[in-house]
Structure 1
Amino acid sequence: MSSSPTCGPVEGSKNGHWQGRNRNHAWWPSKQGLWVLGALAIAGLHLGAKGTTRMDEGDEREVEEGWYASEVAERLARRTSRTFEELKAKWRWSAAEGPRQDPATISNLVVFSGSSHPLLAEEICDYLNIPVGNSVVKRFADGEVFIRILQEIRGRDCFVIIPTNSNDNVIELLLSISTMRRASAKRITAVIPYFGYARQDQRTPFRREPIAAADIARMLEEVGVDRVVSVDLHSGQIQGFFSPRVPVDHLTPAAAAAAYFVENVPDFKRHALHPAGVSSSSRYTVLNRATSLGPCPMVTVVAPHEGQVRRARIFRERLSKLLGPQVSVDMAMVSKFRDADGRIFRQLIGDVTGRTCIIVDDLLDTGKTLATTVDLLKGEGADRVYGFATHARFSRDGQKRVQECENLQFVVVTNTMPLEGGKSRAIEIHPLHDKIHQLSVAPLIAEAILNIHDCGSVSSVVAGDQEMQSVLEKSASNREP
């Protein structure tokens, strides 16, 4: 015959805390066992309360009643101070037509902001005409991140916007995704305007190094992300670091940047294309003002090193569509190599004599590559030199180095990362500095969010086709007769 399983000391032990009533029933504790369990329960409650004192008794009240209340007040003040026309002017170089007027059409969608770049999240929500998700992000005195979502998200489509340009932001993103997953969100999309550690996408041969970009991708998958949206990854292969279960949408602001150059470089603006509207044979036609246009500018898009050739080619295609076939837009590249003594040499491949040059890169960090390339192009006979970099990190006096570059006209960056001590300002009309102009990627990201939420195609946003058509129409309406 089989006997019931025993637990604790052997049945009948006088010193045991557990004794059975009989062999055929569940085991019940003795009086001594009840006393022990009660003491342990009281001690556990005391220790648990003591261990959570810093959150429950102090910081939580400070977060919800102090910091969060003031933050919400600032958000509402900024949101109500921006009018519809101001927002349209702010996004004039993108495909944006203004914020969505009917929030009821965007059901079940929640966009959350991290602490690293709240202004970008607010601008995206302005475009979508929805409020920013109700959440708390704070750091304790010891540096630990505290996150709490203050609204119901069960079964909802959640997006969290956090650029991972620092280690703290990486942890904040991971914990935000984990919080949403534990709160039973239907789908979680990580919007990472700047993907940190992207430059560590491969190992140096015969070196013991991590592939940090792949490790970050695995972390995001482990905490439960469903989809990733990023802007201008350092290399497109990073999309392959995620499994097929996590699609990655790779956006590019090349079209908006090309439109900005057309509007702000005098020779470009005079020769830009005009939407046809009357001709069925071609989509766009050249303005018939040859007598007043003057000589056509000669333009060269320059890749500062071999790794930027593809990015420069994409920008050249966008710029060529705006300028038309009458303007010559060529390509050039700077090849960097080291001699036997380790000294770095740069060689220009292409002709830039008397041409307007635009240097295209993905990241503006210390500014050394930009400044060195500008001086090289001027030494080779370039007429004017401009720059475009999607991400502006500006470490090690990078901002100062760009400002002091005499041969640079200006450089265009975007707001994928906050500038000016964590404050990101959309300054399409008024530059941040004389030589640093900032464009907003909020409409680009917002359109991607809409298409993802509506189960539509993100390809048109990625390729920039819709953006190009809108830019051409706006450029024509703003052009002098």
Structure 2
Amino acid sequence: MLIFNLPEYKKLAQEIARGKSEKIKRGGFEKRIFPNGESQLILKSKVAGENCAILGGISAPNELIDLLFLSDLLKKDGAKKVIAVVPYFSLSRQDKSEPDKSWGMKSLSNIFLSSKFDNIISLDLHNEYGRKMFKNKLVSIETVQLFADQIRKICLQDYCVIAPDEGAKARAGKLAELLRCRQFGYFKKVRTNNYTKHLKYHGDIEKIAVIYDDILDTGATLISAVKELRRLGFDEIYIFVTHGQFTGAKWKQLSKFGVKAIYATNSIPKKTTSKLIKELSAAGLIKKYLLSSPRK
């Protein structure tokens, strides 16, 4: 198999294809941008009869266009199968139809289903409803084992697994189950346009809090949760998230309220040098799926 990557995902692609005798090799292409702003992709690898994967994001419009152009180019040049590897599936929170608002996930499903991609893989999609829009072409790989292993490595004692809202209860529950941790808690909350307010914490209280969620965006939800946990008597707090967006600067306040570390996968290329953030590589999970997926 050949794996191609958009520029920001070079490091992750290198990890996936690491090893001299690996079954996954890196493919190459060049992007030419003309004076008028139009672009063209030029393939640098032979792909006839090969299974191919394209690793990248879809947050920026040009990223989505490049993914689509490259998938079409690979199929045109004879690739047997083309898989989109989109670790963080942008717009996954736009999974419901609302009057007068665009429906992000539905629009993306229409685009991908009409593309040359045979299937798409992502990490911890926001919810199952969004995945169903893709008619079984979208696979969501769970990362919970990655975090469970890390928690065991840092040897935490007397901790409680906590979901920052009701939507994260199932996800956090899986982590607690893997860790055989009986101490569990969650928040009930209401969200407005200007702030997030946690109404009440439900669950156990221990010395250490392990908060688990899929996305850390601005950090507003987590800041509210952490403040309340400190008030309730938790001494140390660790945050584990699949997708660390780290938008703006508000999330940096987390260190002021007893957060010892934020563990996030490399699903989104890291853009901050904060020592608070500890990166966990999802390369092994992606590689395992690519090598086990059907070849036809």
Structure-1-length-normalised TM-score: 0.57
Find out whether 1:375 has 2:232 as its counterpart. Answer: no
Q: Could you say which residue in structure 1 is the equivalent of 2:205?
A: 353
Q: How many residues align?
A: 294
The one-letter amino acid paired with 1:309 is: K
| Match of residue 139 from structure 2 | 249
**TM-fit CA distance, 1:129:** 5.8
Residue aligning to 2:163: 303
User: Within 2, Cα distance between the matches of 1:243 and 1:120?
Assistant: 28
Indicate if the aligned counterparts of 2:198 and 2:224 stay in contact, CA closer than 8 A. no
Question: Partners in 1 of 2:60 and 2:247 — Cα distance?
Answer: 12
- Aligned-partner Cα distance in 2 for 1:134–1:122: 12
Aligned to 1:325: none
Aligned-pair CA distance for 1:408:
0.7
C-alpha contact (below 8 Å) 1:303/1:361 kept by paired residues = yes
Q: Percent identical across equivalent pairs?
A: 24
Say whether residues 1:126 and 2:18 are aligned partners.
yes
1:451-466 aligned within 5 A: 451-453=292-294
Aligned to 1:230: 122
Q: Per the alignment, in what secondary structure is the counterpart of residue 215 of structure 2?
A: strand
- 2:67 is aligned, of 169, 173, 196, to 173
The one-letter amino acid paired with 2:256 is C
Q: What is the deviation of 1:439?
A: 0.3
Contact 1:352 1:377 in 2 (8 A): no
Q: Report how far residue 136 of structure 1 moved.
A: 1.4
Q: After TM superposition, give the deviation of residue 154 of structure 1 in Å.
A: 2.0
Which residue in the other structure is 1:315 paired with?
Answer: 175
| 1:405 has 2:256 as partner | yes
Q: Which runs of 5+ in 2 are unaligned?
A: none
Gaps of at least 5 residues in structure 1 are: 1-108, 268-296, 321-327, 422-431, 456-481
Give the distance between the partners of 2:37 and 2:216, measured in 1 at CA. 28
Change (3 A) 1:238 1:417: same
Say whether the 8 Å CA contact 1:388–1:411 is kept in structure 2: yes
CA–CA distance in structure 2, aligned partners of residues 438 and 379 of structure 1: 28
C-alpha offsets along residues 189-246 of structure 1, whole Å, 9 cap, x if unaligned? Answer: 1111011111111123xx21222112112111212111111101111222211135xx
Describe the shift of the 1:342–1:130 C-alpha distance in structure 2 as closer, same or farther (beyond 3 A): closer
Distance 2:195 2:121 in 1: 39
Relative distance call for 1:400 and 1:249 in structure 2 (3 A) is same
SS of equivalent to 1:379:
helix
- Higher-Rg structure is 1
Sort the Cα spacing of 1:372 and 1:141 in 2 relative to 1 into closer, same or farther, 3 A: farther
Using structure 2 for the length normalisation, give the TM-score: 0.90
Q: What is the distance in 2 between the residues matched to 1:433 and 1:140? A: 37
CA distance in 1, matches of 2:122, 2:143: 11
The SS at the match of 1:362 is: strand
DSSP 3-state at the match of 1:255: helix
Q: Determine the structure 1 residue equivalent to 2:2.
A: 110
From the two aligned structures, give the one with the greater strand fraction.
2
Q: Does 1:330 align with 2:183?
A: yes
Q: Report 1:82-481 matches (<5 A).
A: 109-126=1-18, 128=22, 130-140=24-34, 143-204=37-98, 207-244=99-136, 247-267=137-157, 297=158, 299-320=159-180, 328-337=181-190, 345-398=197-250, 400-402=252-254, 404-420=255-271, 433-453=274-294
Q: Deviations over 1:448-478 (max 9, x none)?
A: 00001557xxxxxxxxxxxxxxxxxxxxxxx
SS of the equivalent of 1:223 reads coil
Distance 2:285 2:6 in 1: 19
**Partner of 1:412: helix, strand, or coil?**
strand
